[in-house]
A and B are shown apart, each in its own frame.
Chain A
Amino acid sequence: MFKTSSLRNLGNAGAAALAISLAFQPVSAAPESKDPIKLTLHDWTGQLITTRIMGEVLKQAGYNIEYVQADYIAQFAGLKTGDLHVAMEMWETTGRDAMDEATATGKVENLGETGMQAIEEWWYPEYMKEKCPGLPNWEALKDEKCAEAFSTAETAPKGRYLGGPVTWGGYDDERAEALGLPFEVVHAGTDAALFAELESAYQRKAPIMLWVYAPHWAPVKYKGEWVEFPKYSKECYEKAEWGTNPDAKHDCGKPRGPIWKVAWAGLKDKWPGAHKAITNFKIANDEMGAMVADVDLNKKKLEDVVAAWMEKNKDRWSQWIK
């Protein structure tokens, strides 16, 4: 009886789903259980798209789907107890701790990579290249004049780097220290605050250096580049001897990690077919970036974007549910 999600969309989703189901006949045999599989929706567009695609695919296989809004981390409470069943995006970079804690209990299962790779790094708008011509090479930032171009009254003469929320980790304080960058690291509290600052600076063509990640609409909307640090390796984070600074760890860039899919451990027994389909789900960064930009920047309807993808990639997703 309970239908969640922004319901204005649901009517359209229904229409879109109907259009899809008229276009393609259900590919797979009857599902194991008609109980609804609950997929969680978070508050960023990429995740909504991933989840809706998975949901539509499962519907094609005859499964009963329910979307439930949930917080990115708080959802683990529901995944452990079986109140929720599938979470489609768990980022290596931000959700690892919570995921490990949950999988360790045996009540939550990691269903493998989504195929998308999270990119996270120091990022600057293109117009900053004039003031700091050596970019994107990280060594340009060691130049004091260059760092000062990124400074504010509070941090001057050091540059200001706006890091992600402390909960994201990322070792930026350590990185600045280890690489000898004259930068002060300031942490934003949420990702909304992070991009609010970017928007503000971009409007004024003001200096800014901050943590940007992909897939996200920001690198599509704003012109800019990621700083090229020495490439990440495991040794760099674990051994001080590694890299340019022999006395410190973290003298390299951030790891690029997969985005995982996680599910309630009982999924496998209750809906084996769905379990297989979700495990098979794969999508690429570029595809996702384009879809996110379509929704957030070109103001297309999320349902239409998902329906368009479904139509174009029928061969792919019908393999998942075979």
Chain B
Amino acid sequence: MSSQSVSVSTSDAGIAHSQRNWGWWAVWVVALSAFFLLWQYGKPDAKWAFKFPREFQIPLRRWIGDFMTWLVDEASFGLFSFTELTRFIAAVIEFPYKIVLSLLSTGFLQGQGSDAIQILPPVSWIAVIAIFTMLGYYAGGRRLALLIAACFGFIALFGQWDNAMITLASILIAVPLGIAGGLLLGIAGYRWRPVEMVLKPILDLMQTVPVFAYLVPILFLFGFGPTAAVVATIIYALPPMTRVAMLALRGVPGEVHDLGSMVGCTGRQMTWRVLVPSAMKGLMVGVNQVIMLALNMVIIASMIGAGGLGYEVLTALRRLDIGAGLEAGFAIVALAIALDRLSQALAERAQAHQHAAGVDASLIQRHPYTAAALAMIVCLAVAGLIVPALQTYPESWQVSTGTFWSEVVRWINVNFFDQLEAVKNALLLNVLIPFKRFLLGLPWFGVVGLLTLAGFSLGGWRLGALVGVLAFLIAATGQWDKAMVTVYLCGISVIVACLFGFPIAIATAERPKVWRWVQAIIDTLQTLPSFVYLMPAVMLFRVGDFTAMIAVVAYAIAPAIRYTAHGLRQVDPQLIEAGTAQGCTQWQLLTKIKLKLALPEIMLGINQTIMLALSMLVITALVGTRDLGQEVYIALTKADTGRGIVAGLSVAFIAIIADRLISASADRLRKRLRLTR
């Protein structure tokens, strides 16, 4: 990082640079004029450029539908069918899941269904809290222990314990599987280039195709119930782990690698004893992401039989019980915070104490925590037989916000609705609707052309071709109009998120005390199921694009703030000092030095904001937008696999186009600013 510098380019290079720039300018002027002419005057003569001719549409939808039917009904490896294979995988996942679930929630049962008899009760709520608190103490000292106790205490106090344990059970299965799978794929990608080439587009698709699009096939293949939910969670939450793993392993310094070879490590030792531990810090970022994304899936997972907190949120909001929805929602946040902080601390500790533990000590002395935990489980289980409150959190101790939150929304609604409505209408009529009309009026042919050109000028013919083909496919599968509505909704939301996010980041990045609060708020916004605030938003702003925009902004603002603040903070202090010495004002310092140097990070933040905005599409379909998200949702309700996947792929293509173009321009910026990082 210290090698950051803003050097003046030598004059020769400068001239060559500006000549090339002029060439591009000319190309762009010609292209934009052609586009403008086509857009304004082309409609009568070139209808096909505005609406993709139906007879040339690619029947991808039918192909995918047929393929899925074949896969589920007929595909076979000779000895066993594809469905049998996936069912086998489901059984393998189900086994540990049931054990964890029995421990945390149902107890060990004999028999099935309503005939079941409990042989052993589940672990008492006190023991669960105590064990997690001890883990916290072990990993991060008293502060962490307190935090974790508070999180679990909150869950018990608000009567969410049983549901939270069901959710926790599926998380405890999905997260380790996601981490392990992600890490293995990452190592494979790191070792063999071809694997990486294949993996990258697949990872992109896993992250950007909305879950609803592949929910139906997953249910067919893995059976209905918590296992399918775990599989869907893994698919969604695994990609960041793989990405981070590849990046972190590449980042291991060459000296470490050399040292490993010198002491004669085998390939396996090299990977597990040298590379993985050295890359641990980076890998933990991946772990954090897996946990967060897995908890993001809680609502959707509950729709296919995972139950737990997600189901509680859904039912609460169907009876418009805003308070109950919020309580369950915050229980999810509490789980997320506890698990995230715990995993971070454990990893730090693992790094610090790689070789501890005396060998002579007795078993109990060597494992004081494990022994204490086991003792507690047994004691409390026995005591729980006499005092039931020790086994199950008693209902009479539960508190609830009751109708408080509903009353708050009611009060705002009754007193401020007209003012809110006025603001909403002004924005809707003057900004949102004109922008939507503008995008819908553009000719697809011209847009595809411009995108291709942008790709070509930013990253060469490869990028140009990729962007062009993907954009063309959206048009050719008949998704253009819905894709444009998607671009409009996400575009507006991203702009609004940046308009709010950047100033917040700039104002708080260098004030650690304030920043901690900002961070807590954006963490909450990212883990609180958006359904929780979507319904109050509908009450205040009616259904439609505006409400959808609010939901998207609330979710997607986090990376805009996070990355900008990160970028600002890592600007070399020497440069700022130099600026101050030259008599820069605060404003000049900010605009001329800090923001410029933080630009690549900010671009990355915008990139992530776009990705999150797109991932919210399916949720916004729930408040009546007419975009690709709705298409996916309709396909789900009609159980039309082909339709859902085609729409889902279009979402993914938009995401990939945006991602590639932004990354390429961030790269160029970095080069131009001579930032080596």
User: Interface code B92-136, partner A: CB below 8 Å = 1, 0 otherwise?
Assistant: 000000100110011011011111100000000000000000000
7 contacts between A and B (CB under 8 A): A36-B113, A38-B113, A101-B638, A167-B634, A193-B535, A193-B624, A200-B542
User: Interface code A37-75, partner B: CB below 8 Å = 1, 0 otherwise?
Assistant: 110000111000000000100010000111011111111
Q: Which residues of B contact A153 (CB under 8 A)?
A: 421, 425, 429
> Are B417 and A193 in contact, CB atoms less than 8 angstroms apart?
no
Which chain A residue lies CB-closest to B105? A7
How big is chain B's contact interface, by range? Answer: 35 or more
Asked if A17 lies at the interface with its beta carbon under 8 angstroms from chain B, I say: yes
In the assembled complex, how far is the CB of residue B431 from the closest CB belonging to chain A, in whole angstroms? 14
Asked if B543 lies at the interface with its beta carbon under 8 angstroms from chain A, I say: yes
A75 to B220, CA, bound (A): 10
> Are B304 and A74 in contact, CB atoms less than 8 angstroms apart?
yes
Most buried by B among A5, A189, A296: A189
A35 to B410, CA, bound (A): 48
Most buried by A among B392, B540, B624, B636: B624
- Quick one: which of A34, A66, A166, A217 contacts B319, CB cutoff 8 A? A217
> Are B113 and A192 in contact, CB atoms less than 8 angstroms apart?
no
In the assembled complex, how far is the CB of residue B330 from the closest CB belonging to chain A, in whole angstroms? 17
Question: Which one, A78-86, A247-255, A266-274, is touching chain B?
Answer: A78-86
Q: Which residues of B contact A (CB under 8 A)?
A: 98, 101-102, 105-106, 108-109, 111-116, 159, 162-163, 166, 215-216, 219-220, 223-226, 302-307, 311-312, 314-315, 317-320, 392, 395, 410, 413-414, 417, 421, 425, 428-429, 534-536, 538-540, 542-544, 620-625, 630, 633-634, 636-639
Q: A6-B162, A98-B638, A192-B318 are in contact. Are A68 and B535 (CB under 8 A)?
A: no
Interface of B, helix, strand, loop or mixed by DSSP: helix
> Are A64 and B114 in contact, CB atoms less than 8 angstroms apart?
yes
Q: Which residues of A contact B98 (CB under 8 A)?
A: 1-2
Which chain A residue lies CB-closest to B166? A7
A81 to B228, CA, bound (A): 14
In the assembled complex, how far is the CB of residue B546 from the closest CB belonging to chain A, in whole angstroms? 10
A124 to B540, CA, bound (A): 19
Q: Which residues of A contact B113 (CB under 8 A)?
A: 35-38, 64-66
In the assembled complex, how far is the CB of residue A179 from the closest CB belonging to chain B, in whole angstroms? 23
> Are B305 and A69 in contact, CB atoms less than 8 angstroms apart?
yes
Q: Which residues of B contact A192 (CB under 8 A)?
A: 317-318, 320, 535, 538, 622
Q: A84-B224, A187-B624 are in contact. Are A204 and B319 (CB under 8 A)?
A: no
A64 to B109, CA, bound (A): 14
Q: With A69-B307, A190-B622, A193-B623 given, can you name 8 additional A-B contacts, CB distance below 8 Å?
A: A6-B163, A36-B114, A66-B113, A74-B219, A78-B224, A188-B623, A189-B622, A193-B624
A193 to B551, CA, bound (A): 13
A6 to B307, CA, bound (A): 7
A76 to B215, CA, bound (A): 12
Q: Which residues of B contact A83 (CB under 8 A)?
A: 223-225
A192 to B634, CA, bound (A): 17
Q: Which residues of B contact A287 (CB under 8 A)?
A: none
> Are B538 and A68 in contact, CB atoms less than 8 angstroms apart?
no
A65 to B113, CA, bound (A): 5
Asked if A233 lies at the interface with its beta carbon under 8 angstroms from chain B, I say: no
- Quick one: which of A64, A78, A165 contacts B112, CB cutoff 8 A? A64
- Quick one: which of A8, A45, A65, A167 contacts B114, CB cutoff 8 A? A65
Most buried by A among B318, B414, B638: B318
Interface of A, helix, strand, loop or mixed by DSSP: mixed
- Quick one: which of A2, A72, A193, A195 contacts B101, CB cutoff 8 A? A2
Q: A97-B638, A192-B317 are in contact. Are A1 and B624 (CB under 8 A)?
A: no
Asked if A77 lies at the interface with its beta carbon under 8 angstroms from chain B, I say: yes
Which chain A residue lies CB-closest to B114? A65
Number of A-B residue pairs at CB separation under 8 A: 198
Asked if A174 lies at the interface with its beta carbon under 8 angstroms from chain B, I say: no
Q: Which residues of A contact B111 (CB under 8 A)?
A: 64
> Are B224 and A189 in contact, CB atoms less than 8 angstroms apart?
no
In the assembled complex, how far is the CB of residue B19 from the closest CB belonging to chain A, in whole angstroms? 52
Q: Which residues of A contact B317 (CB under 8 A)?
A: 192
> Are A77 and B166 in contact, CB atoms less than 8 angstroms apart?
no
A71 to B310, CA, bound (A): 12
Q: Which residues of A contact B (CB under 8 A)?
A: 1-8, 11, 17, 34-38, 43-45, 55, 59, 64-66, 68-78, 80-81, 83-84, 97-98, 101-102, 152-154, 162, 165-167, 186-197, 199-200, 203-204, 206, 217, 296
Q: Which residues of A contact B536 (CB under 8 A)?
A: 196
Q: Which residues of B contact A193 (CB under 8 A)?
A: 534-535, 538, 543, 622-624
Q: Which residues of A contact B621 (CB under 8 A)?
A: 189
Q: A8-B162, A68-B224 are in contact. Are A165 and B624 (CB under 8 A)?
A: yes
> Are B414 and A17 in contact, CB atoms less than 8 angstroms apart?
no
In the assembled complex, how far is the CB of residue A232 from the closest CB belonging to chain B, in whole angstroms? 23
A76 to B219, CA, bound (A): 9
> Are B304 and A71 in contact, CB atoms less than 8 angstroms apart?
yes
Q: A2-B101, A199-B320 are in contact. Are A77 and B216 (CB under 8 A)?
A: yes
Q: A45-B319, A189-B622 are in contact. Are A2 and B106 (CB under 8 A)?
A: yes
In the assembled complex, how far is the CB of residue A227 from the closest CB belonging to chain B, in whole angstroms? 20
> Are B636 and A81 in contact, CB atoms less than 8 angstroms apart?
no
> Are B224 and A35 in contact, CB atoms less than 8 angstroms apart?
no
In the assembled complex, how far is the CB of residue A158 from the closest CB belonging to chain B, in whole angstroms? 15
A17 to B223, CA, bound (A): 29
Q: Which residues of B contact A72 (CB under 8 A)?
A: 637
Which chain A residue lies CB-closest to B534? A193
> Are B115 and A167 in contact, CB atoms less than 8 angstroms apart?
no
- Quick one: which of A64, A70, A75, A186 contacts B115, CB cutoff 8 A? A64
Q: List the 3 shortest-distance A-B pairs measured between CB atoms, nearest first.
A: A36-B113, A78-B224, A77-B219
Q: Which residues of B contact A196 (CB under 8 A)?
A: 320, 535-536, 538-539
Which chain B residue lies CB-closest to A153? B425
Q: Which residues of A contact B303 (CB under 8 A)?
A: 70-71, 74
Q: Which residues of B contact A200 (CB under 8 A)?
A: 413, 417, 538-540, 542
- Quick one: which of B315, B429, B544, B637 contacts A167, CB cutoff 8 A? B637
Q: Which residues of B contact A36 (CB under 8 A)?
A: 112-115
> Are B224 and A152 in contact, CB atoms less than 8 angstroms apart?
no
Most buried by B among A3, A75, A152, A187: A3
Which chain A residue lies CB-closest to B538? A196
Q: Which residues of A contact B306 (CB under 8 A)?
A: 69
Q: Which residues of B contact A97 (CB under 8 A)?
A: 638
A34 to B113, CA, bound (A): 9
A195 to B540, CA, bound (A): 13
Which chain A residue lies CB-closest to B73? A105
Q: Which residues of A contact B166 (CB under 8 A)?
A: 7
- Quick one: which of B115, B220, B410 contacts A77, CB cutoff 8 A? B220
Which chain B residue lies CB-closest to A38? B113
Which chain B residue lies CB-closest to A36? B113
In the assembled complex, how far is the CB of residue A151 from the closest CB belonging to chain B, in whole angstroms? 12
> Are B624 and A6 in contact, CB atoms less than 8 angstroms apart?
no
Q: Which residues of B contact A76 (CB under 8 A)?
A: 639
Q: A4-B307, A193-B538 are in contact. Are A81 and B220 (CB under 8 A)?
A: yes
